[in-house]
Chain A
Amino acid sequence: MEYNEEEYLMLSGIQHFAFCRRQWALIHIEQQWQENVRTVEGNILHESAHKDDFNEKRGKVIISRGMPVYSRILGINGVCDVVEFHENKNGVSIHGREGTYLPIPVEYKHGKPKEDDMDALQLCAQAMCIEEMMLCHIDVGYLYYGETRHRQKIEFNEELRNKVVRLFQEMHELYHKQYTPKVKPSKACKACSLTDLCVPKLYKTLTVKEYIDGIIKEE
């Protein structure tokens, strides 16, 4: 099955979704977003990665910044921070360039490597878009972390790819229903910028009926 452009979801939403389904729904379905320090800093970092939109060539590598990508199969679109095209016999041809190249996505992240796979999922989704658009195969990509200044190599194996497919399917289902799922409050809530709007605590507290009756009966 393929999606129409109108149905596309934001690629970057996969990191929110992997972090917390509810957070994703608050941002992408309810469109509630509160800027906090972390996201603002994130934007600054991204701006510098996108600074010059034209391609530059360093040796045998073409560097493309801010490349828009999409996938009809996943029903998503987004922007890649950086895609490197490495000259390679087994690669694909690029419009207006001689030779053949292997695309390698590189995503810039503020902070340090995370324990979960949210960043890897986002990168993998980018790779899957590029594969679909350029009819190629991409084995690896890199996550660059601002805090540690290190590149982390990510292999796009079957497991990661399957998870990307599965998560976007779930996101499309929720989006279609326009439903914000409830989740159990977790440790993640502490680092979440949407706590004020989400109020995870509400799911631990009593029902409103019990609350009203409780207070009035005390009298």
Chain B
Amino acid sequence: MKKLLNTLYVTSPDTYLSLDGENVVILRDEERLMRMPLHNLESIVSFGYTGASPALMAACSERNIALTFMSQNGNFMARVVGEVHGNVILRKTQYRISENETDSLQIAKNIVIGKVYNSRSVLERATRDYPQRVDIEKLKKTSKILLNAIELIKECKSKEELRGLEGAAANRYFGVLDDLILQQKDSFQFSGRNKRPPMDNINSMLSFVYTLLAHNVASALETVGLDPYVGFMHTDRPGRISLALDLMEELRAVYADRFVLSMINKREINPKGFTQKEDGAIIMDDDTRKCVLKAWQSRKQEVITHPFLNEKVEWGMVPFVQAMLLARYIRGDLDEYPPFLWK
């Protein structure tokens, strides 16, 4: 399996990234803060405005290193897309599928099955891990509803219907998510998803982590030669990484939500690190963001067994494996796209 390489997160807003030989160099006021060989890197995510040199951008695109710029608050701003590697046929097939309702529905269905199954797994896990602390009956009931939803998804005939089923399942799941918060309840409550802007601590964490995940998935798609901007489920919009958002659906609950929950439950995150704006919007401060990034990096190293390949992979490799499996399906090597089903 491809090796999991590092992601370099640059969190100081006043730094500039440049290239020196085979290294990325982080500069502040002409002074070198750090230097890191490119061959260790899979992606670079920069939070700040100062920027990066074109030479570094070229070097990254040549080496398939994803370079993404986020605002200080963790909102996505731009990514460097290099020369597309010779995968014209794959991309053409991808575009053809995206324009064909039946073919894209087939993939979208499996993705949503993965999403619902995995959100259900998050609830099931909690009943096993904390039987004394959670309302088992309530969680089991929701879990059962989600399992039934999967049967309906299998039978559904249009993307519109699919979106409806997905939305209903997501509401059910988010409806009990607050039950999984077992520590620091005063500061972390979840009463539903809001994003523009996030109005509570959990939503601000979720938004941030979803952006990180989207970045991971988009670069995985590019690595295997797929176009992250052309999706099967999310409608295309200029600048929107639709396919990355599609593929990410499977991973939201098991990868991102669970990560956020465990940071709260293990008290790895401090409620003091969030600031509320006048309008109620919540902003994470710098140190909190750094702390989330650090935990995110180490979560990526954790090893799991991939359910379809039956092979040990790091969590951080899962987006790549799914992108690769999607590419192999599009090329006709597999009978269907195998979603990531986490137990």
Instruction: Give chain A's interface residues, CB within 8 Å of chain B.
Output: 29-32, 178, 180, 182, 196-197, 199, 201-203, 205, 207-209, 211-212, 215-216, 219
B264 to chain A, nearest CB (A): 28
Provide the bound-state CA to CA distance between A160 and B324, in Å: 37
Instruction: Give chain B's interface residues, CB within 8 Å of chain A.
Output: 1-2, 85-87, 89-90, 110, 113, 117, 147, 150, 224-225, 307-311, 324-325, 328-329, 331-339, 341, 343
Let me know if A202 and B333 touch, CB within 8 A: yes
Give 24 A-B contacts (CB < 8 Å), ordered by A residue.
Answer: A30-B87, A30-B225, A31-B87, A182-B333, A196-B2, A196-B324, A197-B324, A199-B324, A201-B309, A202-B328, A202-B333, A207-B335, A207-B336, A208-B308, A208-B329, A209-B336, A211-B307, A211-B338, A211-B341, A212-B113, A212-B339, A215-B117, A216-B117, A216-B341
Provide the bound-state CA to CA distance between A207 and B89, in Å: 24
Contacts between the two chains (Cβ within 8 Å), count: 68
Contact A208/B2 with A30-B87, A201-B309, A216-B150 known, Cβ cut-off 8 Å: no
Contact A208/B87 with A196-B1, A215-B343 known, Cβ cut-off 8 Å: no
Dominant secondary structure of chain B at its interface with chain A: loop
Provide the bound-state CA to CA distance between A207 and B110, in Å: 13
Let me know if B337 and A208 touch, CB within 8 A: yes
User: Which B residues are CB-close (under 8 A) to A197?
Assistant: 224, 324
Let me know if A212 and B338 touch, CB within 8 A: yes
Contact A199/B309 with A30-B90, A216-B150 known, Cβ cut-off 8 Å: yes
User: Which A residues are CB-close (under 8 A) to B328?
Assistant: 199, 202
Provide the bound-state CA to CA distance between A21 and B90, in Å: 19
Contact with B331, one of A30, A209, A216 (Cβ below 8 angstroms): A30
Provide the bound-state CA to CA distance between A182 and B311, in Å: 21
Minimal Cβ-Cβ distance residue in A for B343: A215
- Central interface residue in A182, A207, A212, by most chain B CB within 10 Å: A212
Provide the bound-state CA to CA distance between A209 and B106, in Å: 12
Minimal Cβ-Cβ distance residue in A for B339: A212
Provide the bound-state CA to CA distance between A31 and B83, in Å: 14
User: Lowest 9 CB-CB distances: which A-B pairs, in order?
Assistant: A31-B86, A208-B336, A208-B338, A196-B2, A215-B341, A207-B335, A208-B335, A211-B338, A211-B308
User: Which B residues are CB-close (under 8 A) to A31?
Assistant: 85-87
Provide the bound-state CA to CA distance between A202 and B150, in Å: 25
Let me know if B110 and A212 touch, CB within 8 A: yes
- What 4 new A-B contacts, CB under 8 Å, besides A31-B85, A207-B335, A215-B307? A199-B328, A211-B338, A212-B113, A216-B117
User: Which B residues are CB-close (under 8 A) to A215?
Assistant: 117, 307, 341, 343
User: Which A residues are CB-close (under 8 A) to B341?
Assistant: 211-212, 215-216
Provide the bound-state CA to CA distance between A184 and B343, in Å: 30
Provide the bound-state CA to CA distance between A178 and B88, in Å: 11
Let me know if B331 and A180 touch, CB within 8 A: yes
User: Which A residues are CB-close (under 8 A) to B338?
Assistant: 208, 211-212
B121 to chain A, nearest CB (A): 10
- Central interface residue in A201, A209, A211, by most chain B CB within 10 Å: A211
Provide the bound-state CA to CA distance between A178 and B335, in Å: 19
User: Which A residues are CB-close (under 8 A) to B113?
Assistant: 212, 216
Let me know if B89 and A178 touch, CB within 8 A: yes
A21 to chain B, nearest CB (A): 14
Contact with B89, one of A30, A196, A216 (Cβ below 8 angstroms): A30
Minimal Cβ-Cβ distance residue in B for A218: B343
A126 to chain B, nearest CB (A): 25
Minimal Cβ-Cβ distance residue in B for A212: B113
Contact with A205, one of B90, B310, B329 (Cβ below 8 angstroms): B310
Provide the bound-state CA to CA distance between A177 and B117, in Å: 38
Minimal Cβ-Cβ distance residue in B for A182: B333
User: Which A residues are CB-close (under 8 A) to B224?
Assistant: 197
Provide the bound-state CA to CA distance between A203 and B334, in Å: 8
B183 to chain A, nearest CB (A): 29
User: Which A residues are CB-close (under 8 A) to B90?
Assistant: 30
B238 to chain A, nearest CB (A): 28
Let me know if A219 and B147 touch, CB within 8 A: yes
Contact with A32, one of B1, B225, B332 (Cβ below 8 angstroms): B225
Provide the bound-state CA to CA distance between A93 and B134, in Å: 90
User: Which A residues are CB-close (under 8 A) to B325?
Assistant: 199
A187 to chain B, nearest CB (A): 19
User: Which B residues are CB-close (under 8 A) to A205?
Assistant: 308-310
User: Which B residues are CB-close (under 8 A) to A180?
Assistant: 331-333
Provide the bound-state CA to CA distance between A85 and B337, in Å: 56
User: Which A residues are CB-close (under 8 A) to B331?
Assistant: 30, 180
Minimal Cβ-Cβ distance residue in A for B63: A35
Minimal Cβ-Cβ distance residue in A for B90: A30
Provide the bound-state CA to CA distance between A207 and B337, in Å: 10
B93 to chain A, nearest CB (A): 10
User: Which B residues are CB-close (under 8 A) to A199?
Assistant: 309, 324-325, 328
User: Which B residues are CB-close (under 8 A) to A208?
Assistant: 110, 308, 329, 334-338
User: Which A residues are CB-close (under 8 A) to B310?
Assistant: 205
User: Which B residues are CB-close (under 8 A) to A182?
Assistant: 333
